[in-house]
């Protein structure tokens, strides 16, 4: 019979040592905390590579030749990660000049980059073109005109995809649902704006329209969402062929496959999901009488999330009899704002011991001067948890380092990579001197 503690080891790279201490990628967490301090972001390099290969192999095995996988940089962006992504053969999607520059410093070939964003400035556009970014994913007509003008001034022809809104509700968090008609992203098929922007793109001289892009949301556990989305998009491809005489070369169906944050969530099967999508898309294309465009995917969270773990040290433990218990740690919303933003669920575990019969339910909170600085409510911890103990927050590889801030003038934690028996710093800890580096 599975115990509650065993049930909470939700990722395959988690285990307990003989003394009951939590291990991550077979590394002793207490030793890492002693070596690097806390808060501490840890990344399991082998897990990142495993997920990259799952996508790349599925794309090769199930889709026609040329299918592409682009890592969605916004999930986590730093030089070493781009090096790993490049070594594994993926492309990248980027959403800012900062991500472009970081990839450039990592010697990532930017012709394999897709530049997203619903509001690219003229400076962004000029920089991306000058850096040789392969594709722009264009959100709206104003952006089309701007890219055409700037590319023309630079004597370039820029390859683009158009971001299309298919009108699919993924039944996920409202804050991460992006495929509905009223989304801030893309041009909706239902309103006729998708057809209008396609015609406009074809008319502009400095643009090369390669195809269409869509992304309906994140934390998707049901393959049916992708089946519905790809069907709508292929019907749109056919419609544009009939109405405008244009046949898309590429169809990018985005990312969004979910990850397991708590035991009650399933463990998605990337390979099975992509197989079912491939079979459905080929069937839909045959029925529509069109050739299937080159299919592209943009996974982010599902590549890095369970490759990450964050370590904290307990500071104060506050008990309010008859009301509530608080366990405060040395991090919080500055290094993980996702609970404050979305109410995102997490699994938090004591590192040095299992939770036994003597336990309490508490709120694990951060050190910021902010009542909303909460990492998770309703967490079970040992009744006698005390100052100096370590707590691990699981599945933190996505949207933690990338969303971290200096709120309350706190330095961001370091990123330490774990590779076999080796551990090494990929991003150093910010010190107090870093916090004033830009002050004049």
pLDDT tens, the chain, 440 aa long:
333 356 889 999 999 998 899 999 999 999 999 999 999 999 999 999 999 999 999 999 999 999 999 999 999 999 999 999 999 999 999 999 999 999 999 999 999 999 999 999 999 999 999 999 999 999 999 999 999 999 999 999 999 999 999 987 645 434 434 444 555 678 999 899 999 999 999 999 999 999 999 998 888 998 898 999 999 999 999 999 999 999 999 999 999 999 999 999 999 999 999 999 999 999 999 999 999 999 999 999 999 999 999 999 999 999 999 999 999 999 999 999 999 999 999 999 999 998 888 899 999 999 999 999 999 999 999 999 999 999 999 999 999 999 999 999 999 999 999 999 999 999 999 999 999 999 99
How many CA atoms, within 13 angstroms, populate the side-chain half-sphere of residue 220? 28
- SS3 state of residue 78: coil
Per the structure block, which two tokens stand in for 21? 């201490």
How many CA atoms, within 13 angstroms, populate the side-chain half-sphere of residue 117? 22
Task: Classify domain 4-44+306-435 at the CATH topology level.
Answer: Lyase, Ornithine Decarboxylase; Chain A, domain 1 (2.40.37)
What dihedral angle (degrees, nearest 10) is formed by the CA atoms of 129, 132, 138, 142?
0
Which residue in the list 52, 296, 369, 393 is annotated as catalytic?
Answer: 369
Whether domain 116-299 has CATH 3.30.300.10:
no
Write down the pLDDT at residue 355.
86
Q: How many residues can be counted in the chain? A: 440
- SS3 state of residue 36: helix
Q: Can 369 be counted among the known catalytic residues?
A: yes
Q: Which residues contact 49 (CB under 8 A, 6 or more apart)?
A: 84, 88
Residues of the chain with CATH 3.20.20.10: 116-299
- Cα gap 181→200, rounded to integer Å: 20
Residues of the chain with CATH 2.40.37.10: 4-44+306-435
């Amino acid at each position: 019979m599975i115990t509650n503690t065993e049930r909470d080891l939700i990722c395959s790279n988690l285990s307990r040592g003989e003394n009951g201490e939590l291990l991550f990628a077979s590394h002793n967490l207490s030793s890492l905390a002693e070596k690097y301090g806390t808060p501490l972001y840890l990344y399991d390099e082998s897990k990142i590579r495993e997920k990259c290969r799952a996508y790349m192999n599925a794309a090769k095995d199930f889709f026609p030749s040329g299918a592409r996988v682009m890592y969605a940089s916004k999930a986590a962006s730093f030089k070493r990660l781009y090096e790993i992504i490049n070594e594994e053969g993926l492309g990248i999607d980027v959403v800012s000049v900062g991500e472009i520059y970081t990839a450039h410093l990592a010697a990532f070939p930017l012709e394999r980059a897709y530049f997203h964003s619903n509001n690219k400035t003229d400076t962004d556009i000029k920089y991306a073109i000058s850096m040789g970014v392969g594709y722009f994913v264009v959100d709206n007509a104003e952006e089309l005109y701007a890219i055409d003008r700037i590319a023309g001034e630079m004597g370039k022809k820029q390859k683009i995809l158009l971001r299309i809104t298919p009108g699919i509700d993924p039944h996920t968090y409202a804050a991460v649902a992006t495929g509905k008609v009223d989304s801030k992203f893309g041009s909706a098929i239902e309103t006729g704006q998708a057809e209008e922007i396609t015609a406009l793109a074809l008319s502009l001289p400095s643009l090369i329209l390669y195809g269409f892009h869509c992304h309906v949301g994140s934390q998707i556990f049901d393959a049916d969402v992708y089946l519905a989305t790809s069907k709508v998009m292929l019907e749109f491809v056919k419609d544009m062929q009939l109405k405008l005489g244009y046949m898309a070369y590429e169809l990018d169906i985005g990312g969004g496959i979910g990850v397991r944050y708590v035991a009650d969530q399933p463990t998605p099967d990337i390979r099975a999901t992509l197989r079912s999508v491939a079979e459905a898309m080929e069937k839909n294309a045959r029925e529509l009488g069109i050739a299937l465009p080159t299919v592209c995917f943009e996974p982010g969270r599902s590549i890095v999330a369970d490759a990450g773990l964050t370590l904290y040290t307990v500071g104060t433990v506050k008990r309010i009899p008859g009301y509530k218990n608080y366990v405060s740690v040395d991090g919080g919303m500055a290094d993980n704002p996702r609970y404050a933003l979305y109410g995102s669920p997490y699994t938090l575990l004591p590192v040095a011991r299992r939770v036994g019969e003597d336990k309490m339910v508490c709120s694990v909170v951060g050190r910021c001067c902010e009542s909303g600085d909460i990492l998770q409510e309703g967490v079970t911890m040992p009744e006698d948890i005390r100052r100096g103990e370590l707590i691990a927050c699981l599945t933190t590889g996505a949207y933690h380092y990338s969303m971290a801030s200096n709120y309350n003038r706190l330095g961001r934690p370091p990123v330490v990579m774990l590779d076999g028996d080796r551990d090494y710093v990929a991003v150093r800890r910010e010190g107090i001197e870093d916090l004033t580096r830009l002050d004049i």
